[in-house]
Amino acid sequence: MPFVIIAAVIAIICVARYYHNKKERNKEITWQEVQKQTDTKRNTISIDTSENFSEGEDVPAREVHSRAEHKRKIANTPNRYVVIDLETTGLNPQYDFITEFGAVLVEGSEIVDTFEQLVKPKKRIPEEVEDLTGITNEMVSDAPSINIVLPKFLKFIGNDILVGHNIDFDSQFISAACQRFNLPYKNKVCDTLELSQQVFPKLENHKLSTLCRKLNVTNDSAHRALSDVLATQQIFEKLSEKATPKIHNHAKFTLKKNSYNVRYSAKTKAIRELQEMLLDITDDNILTDEEVMELKDWLDCNEEFCNIYPFDKLKRIIENALEDGILEQHELDEMLEVFNDICKPEFDKDVSSEELINLDGKVLVFTGECQLGDTSEITPIYEAMGATIRTSVSGKTDYLVVGAYGSPDWSYGNYGSEVLKARELQEAGKKVKIINETDFLPIIYSEATT
């Protein structure tokens, strides 16, 4: 009997300790708690930026000097924090890359240090993103690569609290980049978008541009990293006067291992590479002899595909032009037209941006390789805009969306089954429209980053 009593007491103590620990884990983190951690950690850890690192290589940690301490003017916010913003080639950290870092270190409400750096990404910046951010492929052509910039950025942010607008977007790209180079990233974050929702629950939206107007904050170069950072810092200070900011663990993004090899067949990978070459060649709408010869060499190295479209058409037109050993201007003009037709397929043109913004009640079907990821990644994005996603085309379909990365069956010759079905419905007078994913990207990108 005494053993039963003792066991019962021990069980009660264990249960009480379990719920106490659970309560402690779920307790909201305060600025003061995080500030104590970062005051200690920032003084002992940083990333060595004296070397460049390759993907998969471990990076050492070294001591750095602490920054001056200042008294806080606003009780709701920490003494020190870093405001960040990134610009990227797109929205998916798995397939897209950072093109610009912007950050400011704030101590005692005053900006004491800044970080701004363009980055040369591993893929071309899409035209719609160039238009949105103003960062062009030409601007980043001579910029340092991510393996040089990322360690410097991580040293700048140290272990400080990171503040940003829709900061989950930025955190996921940082998380993905750090995974590629085995770099640590453990910062706590605070989102001014969330803070705005606390302060202005009835505001029509909480975009950065809307808050700038609401709070009389100037943003001279919207969608450039440092300009957005400076605006976000002012907004954060003003919102913090009205509500206590909440801090969280940063949003993580787990890269899919070997996703490129799993996701695409050899044929599709070759088509993607060919499309990038053609887009690069046609970008300035001028075709040179050197570009023709470079494309010919590439086709010769991929001759296993030269009996299928569009490889066969390209090989044939180049061989015909080179038959006499001279490339004349009319032959270059003809080839340029063909190249444009192949890499920029025709879609329904009577679809306006205003129409695509309002997707309430619309039914969408996706085909081909999408820039924003697979169906599981795409669906929440478009459902949040009011759309319903289906797997196949029917009479109820409003839009058949062809992925921005194209489809071997659609973008490069033959109709795929979904496109054929959509064309048949169009002939029967149905409402379905065939559009490119790139028609949506400026709208979605703007929603996600403002």
| Of residues 272, 18, 21, 279, the one with CA closest to residue 125 | 279
Q: CA-CA distances (angstroms) from residue 193 to 100, 185, 247?
A: 21, 22, 12
**Residues with Cβ within 8 Å of residue 62, at least 6 apart in sequence:** 46, 48
| Of residues 410, 100, 40, 362, the one with CA closest to residue 228 | 100
3-state DSSP call for residue 39? helix
Beta bridge partners, 110, equal 107
Give the DSSP per-residue string, 140-194: HTTSPBHHHHHHHHHHHHTTPPEEETTHHHHHHHHHHHHHHTT-----EEEEHHH
46-60 as b/e, with b when 16 or more CB fall inside 10 Å? bbebeeebeeeeebe
How far is residue 272's CA from residue 277's CA, in Å, rounded to a whole number? Answer: 9
**Helical segments of 222-302, H only:** 225-240, 259-263, 266-282, 289-301
Q: Is 223 a catalytic residue?
A: yes
Catalytic residue among 165, 223, 250, 330: 223
> To 5 degrees, how large is the angle CA 407–CA 410–CA 412?
80
For 218, phi and psi rounded to 5 degrees?
Answer: -90, 130
- Asked if residue 386 lies in contact with residue 410, where contact means CB atoms within 8 angstroms, the answer is no
Give the DSSP per-residue string, 338-391: HHHHHHS--------HHHHH--TT-EEEEES--TT-SHHHHHHHHHTTT-EEES
Q: In what order do the strands lie in the sheet with 433-436?
A: 388-390, 363-367, 399-402, 433-436
How far is residue 156's CA from residue 49's CA, in Å, rounded to a whole number? Answer: 10
Which residue numbers are catalytic?
Answer: 223
